């Protein structure tokens, strides 16, 4: 059974532990700017929304890559960047309609959530249970997919 | 079932793979004219800066990828298409018959109709073979002229700068990437390049290129061939002739309008590309590209077209036009293959025109109707000193287009907002006030 990140914004307090944990896991520094998960703040509503890649089935990033540098991890279902293949062309960053693949000018490559190989550190670090890593069925993945379907342009046969 | 695909770019390769998935037993032939494994033109700038080797440009890195899929790769030029008999003629005098054909022949680079464009020192930047010529001919200290500051011109600027050449860019239009970026951002891009030591001449035309000729050295250093076997067979030319005829110095003279001519070692012509419709001309319906319907089908029932060569449906306008971009090529390739194999529900609902460009480290992007629409509204925010800029274009309360400059985070959401036709509601006013809050607008309107 594949697992997914389940994000419940109602429980988020905006502490940014997830961003710190992500940055440390993937870049070995505590710097939210390097995090693959991002907490958006809605001041007027007093609301925080953590947001990252949903590992969507459509995988626009993967399909748009001209050099096959984005592959699916068979164990986790994550779409992962192969750093030694990525040339840094950034086509995936405009193809992803969720805005969750980003260019890192320091490395000259793109970055995205890879579910930490099946042990996502953002979920481990979250003190309020706003981010959990649970069976895909329960995550509202369908809701995401339905939305994705709205802009789906292909493969519907 | 016998499928033939002409063109080994992304549209052709994705189509071949999709055909194989849907028809394990079909006969699939992928024909390409270039002497390399299928590769990505997108990767060429990164080959030129040495970030990847030639194999890093290959569309499919796995060895034997096409063999494993039983996709027959054929290196040939197709010279003729006969719709009635469903056959292709090849350069090697052979002919091939097909049940279904996909034309994924891409684009070819154009050169302006001015003198000297046929000289050896004038090269395109389109194929891997072109890239090798640039790599060989643009070295430290060389004077290079880049004709055209469009997408391709801009994306190779960094490679040329890193190679240490003395570079002048000549662009006809009043700014850089005029078909992708608005006036403000295209002008900022020019300023960025100039700050990095590149001379950029906008609103300037190249009138012609010629070889610089100089007079040969004086008579006493002349013909070493005054003896020898051949000189006895052929009547030697009078020495005076050799002295009088000027010989090429190896330099090129580039004539400009309104500017002093330039003396350079290499001219790179990146003035644009055109759909490669040669095979279809007079046989299938064509305009700028090959006309196709929502199934990527041409005017002949069993012949399809995809990618740069096809005039497919544009999401933003609902009209048919050529989008010479990677994501559209991939979408077209997959859709065409599904329709070639009896798919019923695979209609092209329209691809969105979009681009992302890295010009010496300054990243720009464009989405949809970035020029705006009649009766629409727009919001822009600029920080000229930090080379940051964003332009959003609205119709009612949804986003229809955008340009960004100096932004690398979450720009894909602009595509999401445009293509999902997300009603922005109250967020439209918030974006009018601060257009950088695109990610918040998306989250607020799409999550509970």
> Can you tell me the ipTM of this complex?
0.91
B438: CB partners within 8 A, 6+ apart: A99, B392, B402, B410, B413, B414, B417, B431
CATH no. for B111-271: 3.50.50.60
A155 domain residue, yes or no:
no
Closest CB from A67, A97, A104 relative to B56:
A67
Q: Which of B156, B326, B338, B442 to mutate to test the interface with A (most CBs of A within 10 A)?
A: B326
- The per-residue pLDDT for B158 is 86
Residues of B in contact with A98 (CB under 8 A): 412-413, 416, 442
State the angle between helix axes of B10-22 and B326-340 in degrees (0 to 180), rounded to the nearest 10: 30
Closest C-alpha to B23, from B300, B348, B345, B340? B340
Residue that is written with structure tokens 């011109």 in the block: B153
* Interface touch A89/B46, C-beta < 8 Å: yes
Residues of A in contact with B106 (CB under 8 A): none
Phi, psi of B62 (to 5 degrees): -60, 130
Residue A46: CATH number of its domain: 3.30.70.20
CB-CB contact of B337 with B15 (8 Å): yes
Q: How confident is the model at residue A154 (pLDDT cuts 50, 70, 90)?
A: very low
B25 vs B248, higher pLDDT: B25
- Residue B299 is classified by DSSP as S
* Interface touch A97/B447, C-beta < 8 Å: no
Average pLDDT score over residue span B231-246: 58
- The per-residue pLDDT for A152 is 47
Closest CB from A49, A87, A92 relative to B43:
A87
Residues of B in contact with A35 (CB under 8 A): none
pLDDT digits (tens, 9 = 90+) for B366-415: 999 999 999 999 999 999 999 999 999 999 999 999 999 999 999 999 99
Closest CB from B56, B330, B408 relative to A105:
B408
Residue that is written with structure tokens 């046989």 in the block: B283
Alpha helices in B95-226 (DSSP H): 128-137, 151-155, 157-162, 183-195
**Which class is B2-108+274-340 in CATH?**
alpha beta
Residues of B in contact with A154 (CB under 8 A): 331, 334-335, 338, 346
CB-CB contact of A99 with B411 (8 Å): yes
* Interface touch A66/B42, C-beta < 8 Å: yes
Q: How confident is the model at residue A155 (pLDDT cuts 50, 70, 90)?
A: very low
CA distances from A41 to A15, A44, A140, B150 (A): 11, 9, 22, 38
A80 domain residue, yes or no:
yes
Reading the block at residue A93, the tokens are: 């960053």
Closest CB from A87, A95, A100 relative to B46:
A87
* Interface touch A95/B419, C-beta < 8 Å: no
Q: Please, which residues 325-344 of chain B have a Cβ atom closer than 8 Å to chain A?
A: 326-327, 330-331, 334-335, 338, 343-344
B405 vs A140, higher pLDDT: B405
- The per-residue pLDDT for A45 is 86
- Residue B14 is classified by DSSP as H
A156 domain residue, yes or no:
no
- The per-residue pLDDT for A98 is 96
* Interface touch B416/A101, C-beta < 8 Å: no
In the predicted structure, residue B220 carries a pLDDT above the cut 80 = no
Chain A positions contacting chain B at CB under 8 Å are 9, 38, 40, 42, 49, 51, 60, 63-64, 66-68, 85, 87-105, 108, 147, 150-151, 153-157
Q: How confident is the model at residue B325 (pLDDT cuts 50, 70, 90)?
A: very high
State the angle between helix axes of B438-446 and B412-419 in degrees (0 to 180), rounded to the nearest 10: 40
- The per-residue pLDDT for B82 is 97
Residues of A in contact with B354 (CB under 8 A): 94-95
Average pLDDT score over residue span A41-68: 94
Phi, psi of B404 (to 5 degrees): -130, 150
* Interface touch B415/A95, C-beta < 8 Å: yes
Q: Is the dihedral of CA B367, B370, B375, B381 positive or negative?
A: positive
The b/e string for B41-56 (b: 16+ C-beta within 10 A; e otherwise) is: bbbbbbbbbebbeeeb
Give how many domains chain A has, as a whole number: 1
* Interface touch B10/A66, C-beta < 8 Å: yes
Q: How confident is the model at residue B446 (pLDDT cuts 50, 70, 90)?
A: confident
Residues of B in contact with A66 (CB under 8 A): 10, 40, 42-43, 59, 326
CB-CB contact of B104 with B12 (8 Å): yes
Nearest residue of B to residue A60 by CA position? B327
pLDDT digits (tens, 9 = 90+) for B44-63: 999 999 999 999 999 999 98
Closest CB from B14, B343, B363 relative to A157:
B343
* Interface touch A103/B348, C-beta < 8 Å: no
Domain locations in chain B? Answer: 2-108+274-340, 111-271, 369-446
The proportion of chain B whose per-residue pLDDT surpasses 70, expressed as a percent, equals: 93
CB atoms closer than 10 angstroms to residue A26: 16
Q: How confident is the model at residue B241 (pLDDT cuts 50, 70, 90)?
A: low
- The per-residue pLDDT for A147 is 54
Nearest residue of A to residue B337 by CA position? A155
- The per-residue pLDDT for B245 is 81
Task: Tell me the residue range of the domain where A64 lies.
Answer: 3-150
Residues of A in contact with B57 (CB under 8 A): 67, 87
The proportion of chain B whose per-residue pLDDT surpasses 90, expressed as a percent, equals: 88
pLDDT digits (tens, 9 = 90+) for A18-38: 999 999 999 999 998 899 999
């Amino acid at each position: 059974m594949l697992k997914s990140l389940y994000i419940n914004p109602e429980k988020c307090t905006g502490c940014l532990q997830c961003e710190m944990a992500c940055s440390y896991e993937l870049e070995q520094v505590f710097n939210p700017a390097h995090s693959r998960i991002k907490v958006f703040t809605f001041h007027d509503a007093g609301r925080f929304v953590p947001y990252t890649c949903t590992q969507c089935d459509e995988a626009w990033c993967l399909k748009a890559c001209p050099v096959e540098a984005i592959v699916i991890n068979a164990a986790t279902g994550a779409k992962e960047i192969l750093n030694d293949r990525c040339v840094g062309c950034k086509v995936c960053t405009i193809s992803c309609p969720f805005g969750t693949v980003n260019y890192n000018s320091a490395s000259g490559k793109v970055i995205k959530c890879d579910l930490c190989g099946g042990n996502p550190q953002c979920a481990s670090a979250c003190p309020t249970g706003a981010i959990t890593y649970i069976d895909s069925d329960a995550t509202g993945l369908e809701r995401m997919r339905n939305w994705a379907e709205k802009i789906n342009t292909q493969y519907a046969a | 079932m016998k499928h033939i695909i002409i063109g080994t770019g992304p549209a052709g390769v994705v189509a071949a793979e999709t055909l194989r998935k849907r028809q394990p037993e079909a006969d699939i032939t992928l024909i390409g004219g270039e002497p390399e494994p299928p590769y990505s033109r997108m990767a060429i700038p990164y080959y030129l800066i040495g970030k990847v080797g030639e194999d890093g440009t290959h569309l499919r890195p796995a060895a034997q990828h096409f063999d494993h899929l039983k996709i027959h790769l054929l290196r040939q030029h197709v010279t003729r298409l006969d719709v009635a008999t469903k056959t292709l003629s090849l350069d090697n005098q052979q002919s091939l018959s097909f049940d279904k054909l996909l034309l994924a022949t891409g684009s070819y680079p154009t050169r302006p109709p001015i003198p000297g464009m046929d000289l050896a020192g004038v090269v395109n930047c389109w194929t891997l073979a072109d890239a090798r010529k640039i790599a060989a001919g643009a070295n430290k200290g060389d004077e290079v002229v880049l004709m055209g500051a469009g997408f391709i011109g801009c994306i190779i600027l960094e490679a040329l700068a890193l190679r240490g050449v003395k570079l002048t860019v000549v662009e006809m239009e009043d700014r850089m990437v005029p078909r992708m970026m608005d006036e403000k951002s295209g002008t900022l891009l020019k300023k960025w390049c100039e700050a990095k030591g590149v001379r950029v001449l906008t609103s300037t035309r190249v009138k012609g290129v010629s070889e610089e000729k100089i007079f040969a050295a004086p008579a006493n250093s002349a013909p070493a061939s005054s003896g020898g076997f051949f000189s006895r067979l052929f009547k030697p030319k009078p020495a005076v002739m050799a002295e009088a005829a000027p010989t090429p110095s190896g330099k090129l003279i580039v004539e400009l309008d309104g500017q002093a001519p330039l003396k350079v070692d290499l001219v790179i012509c990146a003035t644009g590309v055109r759909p490669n419709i040669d095979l279809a001309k007079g046989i299938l319906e064509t305009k700028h590209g090959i006309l196709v319907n929502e199934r990527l089908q041409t005017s002949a029932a069993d012949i399809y077209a995809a990618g740069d060569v096809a005039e497919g449906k544009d999401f933003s306008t609902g009209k048919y036009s050529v989008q010479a971009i990677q994501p559209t090529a991939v979408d077209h390739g997959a859709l065409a293959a599904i329709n070639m194999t009896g798919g019923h529900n695979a209609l092209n609902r329209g691809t969105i025109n979009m681009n992302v460009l890295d010009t010496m480290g300054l990243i720009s992007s464009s989405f949809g109707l970035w020029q705006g629409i009649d009766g629409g509204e727009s919001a822009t925010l600029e920080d000229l000193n930090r080379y940051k800029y964003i332009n959003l274009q609205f119709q009612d309360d949804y986003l229809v287009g955008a340009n960004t400059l100096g932004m690398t985070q979450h720009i894909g959401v602009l595509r999401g907002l445009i293509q999902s036709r997300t009603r922005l509601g109250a967020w439209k006013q918030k974006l009018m006030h601060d257009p950088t809050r695109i990610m918040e607008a998306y989250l607020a309107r799409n999550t509970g």
